[in-house]
Structure 1
């Protein structure tokens, strides 16, 4: 394809008409209105007005009070529209003279001239060009049970979408497959094909269309021995929307395998022992952080601090571990565990270093979100959270953490689904997310559910455990259990009357929630 500058409105309108008659878009009036709006604005010379807010209000019929920081609906539909256009131009629209393209980072559509490429070339893979110890994941084409071209190409687009989303994890190298000619070769022996590419993992799967339903299966294999590490399956009626179905399977699968909580990171000792040992200090630092987040104990917390400090000294250019160390220093303030003088200042320093090394470090943006919470700057906290989420919404552990901070900042509607979704997708989500869910349900005055999440923290060595349980029991009318937990609180935090009065409003910026918690503790017997 060659990009040509096309200024004629007739061609733009004509190509819009072609696209809107595409079978996928006919079933999605929302995406059709989205595309119609941005093309009309461009034709009328108002492309400068194609902003997220204007799309939401004028095309998606959101109210005038729409806030793009609170609602990602435009970004979600923009991603779906881009995928629908890609699928159209490799199926029904492959012979069109022009094509409509929406570059990432913008909502302004471009009309470009389409030149047919030579499909007779030999197959090739996009090999990762980095030589570090990142795991390498090869994504092979999905098998389709249908001979229909559109359904075969849907399978192809699905594998490409998995490749695109997995590549958002900066500590994973992906090999993207782009040619159908290699399919027979892979079918002979998928494990050998993976080894030829030096892959540590293989992602493959199948798509089956029957009786108005689609069944999608995605597998993660260990390339060294073919062991199936994970299988995700979805079976839905096609009328649910193919793009929505695709989003669901991609998000669920990538969320389970990516990041330092995912199967890829934790399987490296078996999948690629040489790579794991070559990066041992760095991996030890990340694993120490993971172990603390997964299960709280004072020992796990202090061990995480120690190994991260060691890692930062030996790998001073690792933005990930710098941000982790900054975050854990801030956590020490809330846990009343002192590990360094001036922890807030130390966290600011390490976070600034992380962003200088890598301005797109998602973990650095997560720590910034927490820093703004400590500063009680709720607006900047929300902005940093949105920046963090935009980098990779499929990293469930980070989205969980961001959701926790947002709930603490008083953004209950925004934070709750992030925490709940992470808790549903990952069995190893951070322990304190349970505390955030407890905060949410105390705020909603659903105390039985709040107690459920307080008990799920399983963090008996921190004063937060008896504190939250005492509050829940008090509002449930169970005074004896409330007093028992108050006694535990005083043993774990002897100066609780002074510290709790300071810590609660520092962490929980919703005055309503903070006052509600403090009132319960005072009524149980905590004398401020």
Structure 2
């Protein structure tokens, strides 16, 4: 049957007029615009740029690669529409949709069978679909009838699992315009806001709302519930600049919008000299991005805790990546198999999820790095394919280039490692995890000064960094013969399930003459790695340490009691 323009407009009014259609005013304007363009015969001209300029007040300089507002709001609008048709609109005569891959609407007439009372009762008692979820939920209701069985299936969130693959994963953050108080320069407040937004966008484990999206909150009272309902935001970053006589006071605050409370606050006081203003502006950028974003920042750690409470069978692709980073904090190798299985499932669910491919590469490399089994050549080939798949899916994903660098390092291609590692750092210079990986390998390859400096920066960026960030300093101090100081640094590493901890405790305690502690540490090492004496040459060779260093370390372990 043909669908008339009047039918389409009637269906649009049904959505717009229904109190349970959850779309925000902006998303309603989005939907109205694309329907109007469709009815005007311009469906082929409905593009992200035209929507941005007509609906979201962007100008001709709009760049979809930098500002994802249209894709972000299109995803939410699709969820709004699906939620409507799963509930109040399930009996509508027409289905309106916006298929993924474009923004032109589609209209389909729906033939509704005679209602079955048992099925209707099931549907009336179904839990409402959450407004925001990364999982696809299928509601199945069946009723046996004298003439047969009627099977009803409803998808509450659309057919594709997880978020759109071309959008970031993780919590949504709104960087609100910093407030200028007193005589403080407006330009400084605006500059900090702009730079923070630009830097946070680098982190692919965050959704950062574009600056223009929240510009109207300038000089107005922040309403956490409005940010939650209108933008689906999880956190808001706000701040102020205030001139107090001869000084400027800058503050930054992170709000958990769900709990409506501050979770991070930092203040800075400086002189009025331009050099000081620029310096503290850069410091704020580093503090915020280092401590809040990144793989082990506050925002990601909150998401890790939420993912950990999800049953393995129900974890989606993003949850699996979070599980990987949680595992990386302690590197408990007993978890390696389960984490790898989850990531393999993640890339199967979402084959364009670049971050999942990147961490899968590192999991393969760990099989070789820690002698976890498998044919070395085949495992490294799989690691190479996964890293390159990550870069192909997202050439600007720093983690993809980092994992390629790690692989090249294991293979002994130091020049290739340096190039890929530097590319990762250039893409996201304030991601502590990237700095720690790259700095550690630079140090082990003999560039101790630069490697340790990069590692120290990773530690300074995030006070709650994983403890393995300290290992390069232990290696270096051992090489320098400063065993007491090496033990002092080792004491900062709380990783009892990771064999390197006990390896170094055995070697260093022997060197300072504490044989009882050395013997206990060696026993713990062999509990985790029973065949370490046999595996040691392969394990040490992977880290590209020079022969003299390896010989010195193995001598210490043999003298501590390691046999074989």
Which TM class, normalised by the smaller chain length? 0.5 to 0.7
Match of 2:348 in 1: 313
Check the 8 A contact 2:271/2:277 in 1, yes or no: no
1:187-202 matches, within 5 Å, as: 187=221, 189=223, 191-192=225-226, 195-202=229-236
Between stretches 187-196 and 492-501, larger displacement belongs to 187-196
Match of 1:258 in 2: 293
Check the 8 A contact 1:400/1:419 in 2, yes or no: yes
Distance 1:226 1:522, change over 3 A: same
Match of 2:558 in 1: 522
* Aligned-pair CA distance for 1:327: 0.3
Between stretches 391-400 and 154-163, larger displacement belongs to 391-400
1:56-135 matches, within 5 Å, as: 128-131=69-72, 133=163, 134=169, 135=171
Between stretches 315-324 and 436-445, larger displacement belongs to 436-445
1:468-507 matches, within 5 Å, as: 468-507=504-543
SS at match of 2:243: strand
Match of 2:365 in 1: 330
Match of 2:240 in 1: 206
* In the alignment, structure 1 residue 244 sits paired with structure 2 residue 279: yes
Question: 437, 458, 474: which one pairs with 1:401?
Answer: 437
Please give the alpha-carbon distance, in whole angstroms, between the structure 1 residues aligned to 2:419 and 2:389.
20
Check the 8 A contact 2:484/2:512 in 1, yes or no: yes
Please give the alpha-carbon distance, in whole angstroms, between the structure 1 residues aligned to 2:539 and 2:453.
25
Between stretches 232-241 and 316-325, larger displacement belongs to 232-241
Check the 8 A contact 2:398/2:427 in 1, yes or no: yes
Distance 1:368 1:300, change over 3 A: same
Distance 1:309 1:339, change over 3 A: farther
Check the 8 A contact 1:260/1:286 in 2, yes or no: no
* In the alignment, structure 1 residue 168 sits paired with structure 2 residue 109: no
Distance 1:268 1:430, change over 3 A: closer
Match of 1:281 in 2: 316
* Aligned-pair CA distance for 1:344: 1.6
Please give the alpha-carbon distance, in whole angstroms, between the structure 1 residues aligned to 2:388 and 2:369.
21
Question: 254, 269, 278: which one pairs with 1:235?
Answer: 269
Distance 1:188 1:291, change over 3 A: closer
Match of 1:56 in 2: none
Please give the alpha-carbon distance, in whole angstroms, between the structure 1 residues aligned to 2:306 and 2:335.
26
Please give the alpha-carbon distance, in whole angstroms, between the structure 1 residues aligned to 2:411 and 2:454.
22
**CA offsets per residue over residues 280-303 of structure 1, 9 Å max, x none?**
511221122022111232333332
SS at match of 1:186: coil
Question: 195, 202, 211: which one pairs with 1:177?
Answer: 211
SS at match of 2:239: strand
SS at match of 1:202: strand
SS at match of 1:216: strand
TM-score (norm 2): 0.64
* In the alignment, structure 1 residue 356 sits paired with structure 2 residue 356: no
Distance 1:244 1:514, change over 3 A: farther
Check the 8 A contact 1:128/1:174 in 2, yes or no: no
* Aligned-pair CA distance for 1:267: 4.0
Please give the alpha-carbon distance, in whole angstroms, between the structure 2 residues aligned to 1:315 and 1:453.
41
Root mean square deviation, CA, Å: 3.3
**CA offsets per residue over residues 77-112 of structure 1, 9 Å max, x none?**
xxxxxxxxxxxxxxxxxxxxxxxxxxxxxxxxxxxx
Please give the alpha-carbon distance, in whole angstroms, between the structure 1 residues aligned to 2:553 and 2:497.
20
* In the alignment, structure 1 residue 295 sits paired with structure 2 residue 295: no
Question: 499, 512, 519: which one pairs with 1:463?
Answer: 499
Match of 1:28 in 2: none
Check the 8 A contact 1:138/1:194 in 2, yes or no: no
Check the 8 A contact 1:207/1:215 in 2, yes or no: yes
Check the 8 A contact 2:487/2:505 in 1, yes or no: yes
Alignment: residue pair count: 402
Distance 1:284 1:191, change over 3 A: closer
Please give the alpha-carbon distance, in whole angstroms, between the structure 2 residues aligned to 1:320 and 1:210.
45
Q: Gapped runs of 5+ residues in structure 1?
A: 1-121
Match of 1:138 in 2: 174
Check the 8 A contact 1:255/1:425 in 2, yes or no: yes
Check the 8 A contact 1:146/1:152 in 2, yes or no: no
1:335-346 matches, within 5 Å, as: 335-338=370-373, 342-346=378-382
SS at match of 2:265: strand
* In the alignment, structure 1 residue 366 sits paired with structure 2 residue 307: no
* In the alignment, structure 1 residue 218 sits paired with structure 2 residue 159: no
